């Protein structure tokens, strides 16, 4: 897609419109031939260092771009990016190479494996499992019936995923028009699941917008858990049933999330933090400890509060 | 099924028992040849206008029926209706017409399409997808692996449904006997999903008891969301992960439901209402605004309350 | 596996190491040829009566064993058991006997039935259904598309399970090492679902560690509900969408759990208890009634509390 086409699509003006753009990326990750964007001023400092060929951004920020990086000015850059993302969305399958299957692999007849994928040794793909394009699955992995792995995801060794769980579905990202419509931000990223992870039944892990949602070594996740796009779940963390982590939140290592607990997005939870059942995290937690309640407080404070409330009822 | 058989089944008395009844319906929607019922006095005013051939209702309400509509008296009309619903339940497949498939449709080998269904152009049905009897799917639709669409549902154009989501499963409706058993109310309705809707992974949308559960144009729904029978989700509304709407609730347009928020059943939520994460709605909301907490309050009140609670802990 | 191998694996010392051990079990259920364990002192009184051939337990408790039962001493018995459980885990399929299918059974082409299973008369297994090894399914059962039943589960007559639900996935059980890693306790038990149960879409019911998770006659469960390992759900109980019961909790008969309500593990809820939506149960309920809130209180107290909070906001 040429810059000319892109400028036309998003209603931007720009010089040098015959450059060919092959994909979209973040300011930090973009390379020559890619287009990036500034939709949140907190990333402004990354403009100076970007390797992108072009950047969609408000006209007032164009002077911050390095020489040779072309500005496409837009007063609603996030909306422009969403409109454009559709054209760079990866198709469901675009690979010619048949899957590479290791030794001692058990594949049930109704499992479906797209091209470009690699399945490690001693791995079992049960009935109804779907393996997307370019997926890498390690050794000694068991995917129970009807597990779905979207394209480009990477699953380590000794991973167990129980029936019905979905890995790599699109993150929940939209730009909004002035008239209240939502424009889908097509997702380019993937999910990386490291070794020795176990995931329960009917759990969902969204792929990243760009880059990876990352579940680190030894994490254990229960049934019906939601993990949003671009989250990082630290080593040996535990997420109990019906808990959820909103997009771009990072849990440190050995975090425990109790049943039905949840965090908002774009937060950091310190290593060795325990969240009691139903805890609701709306701000980053900088110091490991035991927390509960919504809004969140130290768990012992929450217990104290409950005692006061009990007294209040009786009065 | 004759009225004689019906009267016998539910232990009612009625005259004119040789009339043939072909289905059940609400007082408002029922036509000649259908049977209806009065199980909640708030629908009493609809008795006078019903076109049903017969109505199950308490004996004391029989005089409210128009001439020519036969009364089947029952002191537990809802229980009678549930017992009867089983005999009018639609079978899983009862169509002879093979599916009508548009052009450029991609159907994976393990997808299953029942008879009577229609699939629009450029639509993709991935592995393990199930399309029930008489389902209509529009154009440019993507159903990711293992999506299940129950019979009679209608899906518009440009709809995306992510892996494992279930559309049109039975609403959660039972009548209860005096000894505490539950009698299933077999569901007759469907789900209508309009154009440009996106639904995440492992979400569930129940069909209507009668009529339709209705998801309007441009709605975006995240993963693991529950939508009960007969709900109406207004245009461009957004439902974040693990939120839920109980049966017969109507959201206006551009309602936003935060993560893990929920509403009770039979409510109305005003257009342009935003519900914070974990908000719990137990009464109708008549005026758009930002609400939070459980029980629900204006979000700024909720923040004020939290400040007071914080002070209370310290005292 | 000989006791010698077991002792080596868990680093225990024991005499009489040439005895052959065929499986693991609880102190109460273990028979000759099985190994058991004491990981929680509340089961100490069961030591004297155990029929196990050997027991893993702290050295100090060894004198409580009856004559002829061999002690394998371990200062972390639960961790030892977890390490060992992997070797006694049942394979996905180990049966030679083809499934026994009743009369008038409808099996869609993409359903998969493992060996050793029995399917009753007039039962329907829709597309993508998976029936594990040695599963027993009763008569007049409908399993909607993509329902998964893990090995050894037992499903009664007239059961309906909606699309995408998973029965018998592994309970969420791990032993923890001193360095914060988690060792999976492989699950040996099953799920028993009695007659006339209906389960909604995308719900998950975990198998028992040992023994059975038990859903009794006439229970009705909505969509996206979680039931942990070893739970007992009493006759005619109702669980509304997005509710959850943690491991080893018992609900009496006719318990009602409202939407998004939950209980902690190892509790008992009295028969005829109603839990309002969002109720959170952290202690056993000994007397039926209507409860709400988190922490839990009588529902009328909860309403009173809300009135006080409303007043507090205004002051």
pLDDT in tens, B185-228: 999 999 999 999 999 999 999 999 999 999 999 999 999 999 99
Q: Which chains touch C (3 or more CB pairs under 8 A)?
A: A, B
* Chain centroid offset of residue A61 CA: 28
pLDDT category, A311, cuts 50, 70, 90? confident
- The residues pairing with B275 across neighbouring beta strands, listed in sequence order, are B257, B291
B259 has a chain A CB within 8 A of its CB: yes
At residue C307, does pLDDT exceed 90? Answer: no
Among residues of chain A, what percentage have pLDDT more than 90? Answer: 91
CA distance A176 to A158: 41
**Three-state DSSP state, B8:** helix
CATH number at residue C65: 3.40.1390.10
Q: How far is B28 from chain C (nearest CA, A)?
A: 28
The closest of A147, A237, A226, C189 to B145, measured between CA atoms, is A147
* Mean pLDDT along residues B302-315: 82
The closest of C90, C268, C262, C247 to C174, measured between CA atoms, is C247
Question: Which residue in chain A has the smallest CA separation from B199?
Answer: A172
Q: Express each pLDDT in C74-92 by its tens digit.
A: 999 999 999 999 999 999 9
> Is B306 a domain residue?
no
> Is B312 a domain residue?
no
Pick from A184-193, B8-17, C111-120: least confident: B8-17
B300 has a chain C CB within 8 A of its CB: no
The partner residue sitting opposite B110, judged by closest CB among A112, A174, A242, is A112
User: What was the pLDDT predicted at A15?
Assistant: 74
At residue A139, does pLDDT exceed 90? Answer: yes
Q: Express each pLDDT in A157-197 by its tens digit.
A: 999 999 999 999 999 999 999 999 999 999 999 999 999 99
CB C201 within 8 A of CB C143: no
C166/A218 touch (CB, cutoff 8 Å), yes or no: no
CA distance A100 to A95: 13
User: What was the pLDDT predicted at C284?
Assistant: 98
> Is C186 a domain residue?
yes
Q: Which one of B88, B111, B145 terminates a domain? A: B88
A164/B145 touch (CB, cutoff 8 Å), yes or no: no
CA distance C79 to C91: 22
Q: Which one of A46, A61, A88 terminates a domain? A: A88
B172/C306 touch (CB, cutoff 8 Å), yes or no: no
Using an 8 Å CB-CB cutoff, list chain A residues near B164.
Answer: 146, 148, 164, 166, 202, 204
> Is B314 a domain residue?
no
Residues C212 and C131 in one domain: yes
* Mean pLDDT along residues B139-148: 98
The closest of A46, A28, A34 to A211, measured between CA atoms, is A28
Residues A122 and A248 in one domain: yes
A86 has a chain B CB within 8 A of its CB: no
User: What was the pLDDT predicted at C185?
Assistant: 96
CATH number at residue C202: 2.160.10.10
Q: Express each pLDDT in C20-63 by its tens digit.
A: 999 999 999 999 999 999 998 899 999 999 999 999 999 999 99
- ipTM score: 0.97
| Active-site residue flag, C229 | yes
Residues A153 and A199 in one domain: yes
The closest of B164, B83, B160 to B129, measured between CA atoms, is B164
B172/C260 touch (CB, cutoff 8 Å), yes or no: no
- Cβ-Cβ contacts under 8 Å for B76 (sequence gap 6 or more): B175
Residues B10 and B145 in one domain: no
User: What was the pLDDT predicted at C314?
Assistant: 73
* Mean pLDDT along residues A255-261: 98
pLDDT category, B315, cuts 50, 70, 90? low
* CB neighbour class for A220 (10 Å; exposed up to 12, middle 13-18, buried from 19): buried
Residues C84 and C113 in one domain: no
Residues C75 and C176 in one domain: no
| C191 phi, psi to nearest 5 deg | -120, 135
> What DSSP designation does A161 have?
E
Using an 8 Å CB-CB cutoff, list chain C residues near B264.
Answer: 259, 277
Tokens of B203: 């979400």
C112 has a chain A CB within 8 A of its CB: yes
pLDDT category, C305, cuts 50, 70, 90? confident
Domain that includes residue C273, residue range: 100-301
Q: Which one of B57, B88, B119 terminates a domain? A: B88
CB B1 within 8 A of CB B87: yes
CB atoms within 10 A of CB C273: 24
> Is A311 a domain residue?
no
> Is C315 a domain residue?
no
Q: Express each pLDDT in C251-297 by its tens digit.
A: 999 999 999 999 999 999 999 999 999 999 999 999 999 999 998 99
At residue C315, does pLDDT exceed 70? Answer: no
Q: Which chains touch B (3 or more CB pairs under 8 A)?
A: A, C
Higher pLDDT among residues A309 and B159, named by residue: B159
Going by their DSSP bridges, the two strands B280-281 and B274-275 should be labelled as unpaired
User: What was the pLDDT predicted at C15?
Assistant: 74
Number of structural domains chain B divides into: 2
Among residues of chain A, what percentage have pLDDT more than 70? Answer: 100
Residues A78 and A203 in one domain: no
Q: What is the mean pLDDT of chain B?
A: 95
Query: Which residue of the set B112, B176, B182, B229 is catalytic?
Result: B229
* Mean pLDDT along residues B42-68: 95
CA distance B148 to A249: 31
CB A253 within 8 A of CB A270: no
B112/C313 touch (CB, cutoff 8 Å), yes or no: no
The secondary structure element, H or E, covering residue C300 is helix C299-314
Residues B119 and B76 in one domain: no
Residues C79 and C124 in one domain: no
A305 has a chain B CB within 8 A of its CB: yes
Residues C151 and C123 in one domain: yes
Q: How far is A177 from chain C (nearest CA, A)?
A: 32
B108 has a chain A CB within 8 A of its CB: yes
> Is B313 a domain residue?
no
C88 has a chain A CB within 8 A of its CB: no
* Mean pLDDT along residues B137-165: 98
At residue A315, does pLDDT exceed 70? Answer: no
pLDDT category, C193, cuts 50, 70, 90? very high
Using an 8 Å CB-CB cutoff, list chain C residues near B262.
Answer: 242, 259-260, 277-278
At residue B305, does pLDDT exceed 90? Answer: no
Using an 8 Å CB-CB cutoff, list chain C residues near A126.
Answer: 92, 130
A182/B220 touch (CB, cutoff 8 Å), yes or no: yes
CA distance A158 to C28: 33
At residue B15, does pLDDT exceed 80? Answer: no
User: What was the pLDDT predicted at B13?
Assistant: 79
> Is A280 a domain residue?
yes
CB atoms within 10 A of CB A267: 18
Length of chain B equals: 315
Residues A18 and A167 in one domain: no
- How far CA C249 is from CA of A102, C89, C229, C253, in Å, comes to 42, 24, 9, 13
B308/C306 touch (CB, cutoff 8 Å), yes or no: no
C200/B169 touch (CB, cutoff 8 Å), yes or no: yes
pTM of whole model > 0.90?
Answer: yes
Interface test with chain B among A182, A184, A199, A300, by most B beta carbons within 10 Å? A182
Question: Which residue in chain A has the smallest CA separation from B158?
Answer: A184
Tokens of A235: 């080593």
> What DSSP designation does B170 have?
P
A202/B202 touch (CB, cutoff 8 Å), yes or no: yes
User: What was the pLDDT predicted at C90?
Assistant: 93
Residues B9 and B145 in one domain: no
Query: Which residue of the set A112, A162, A176, A229 is catalytic?
Result: A229
* Mean pLDDT along residues A110-132: 98
């Amino acid at each position: 897609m040429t810059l000319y086409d892109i400028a036309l699509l998003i209603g931007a003006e720009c010089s040098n419109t015959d450059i060919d753009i092959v994909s979209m990326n973040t300011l930090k990750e973009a390379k020559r031939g890619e287009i990036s964007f500034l939709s949140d001023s907190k990333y402004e400092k990354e403009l100076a260092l970007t390797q992108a060929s072009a950047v969609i951004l408000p006209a007032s920020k164009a002077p911050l771009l390095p020489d040779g990086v072309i500005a496409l000015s837009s007063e609603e850059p996030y909306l422009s990016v969403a409109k454009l993302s559709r054209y760079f969305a990866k198709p469901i399958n675009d690979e010619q190479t048949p899957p590479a299957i290791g030794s001692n692999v058990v594949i049930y007849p109704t499992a479906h494996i797209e091209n470009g994928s690699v399945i490690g040794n001693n791995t079992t793909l049960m009935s109804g499992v779907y393996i997307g394009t370019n997926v890498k699955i390690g050794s000694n992995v068991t995917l129970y019936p009807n597990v779905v792995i979207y394209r480009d995801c990477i699953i380590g060794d000794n991973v167990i995923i129980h029936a019905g769980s979905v890995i790599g579905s699109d993150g929940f990202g939209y730009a909004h028009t002035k008239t209240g419509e939502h424009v889908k931000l097509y997702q380019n990223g993937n999910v990386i699941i490291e070794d020795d992870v176990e995931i329960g039944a009917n759990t969902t892990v969204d792929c990243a917008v760009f880059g990876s949602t990352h579940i680190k070594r030894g994490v254990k996740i229960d049934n019906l858990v939601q993990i949003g796009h671009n989250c990082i779940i630290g080593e040996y963390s535990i997420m109990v049933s019906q808990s959820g982590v909103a997009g771009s939140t990072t849990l440190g290592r050995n975090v425990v999330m109790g049943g039905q607990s949840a965090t908002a997005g774009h937060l950091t939870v310190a290593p060795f933090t325990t969240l009691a059942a139903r805890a609701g995290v709306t701000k980053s937690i900088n110091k490991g400890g035991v927390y509960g309640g919504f809004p969140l407080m130290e768990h012992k404070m929450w217990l104290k509060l409950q005692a006061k409330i009990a007294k209040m009822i009786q009065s």
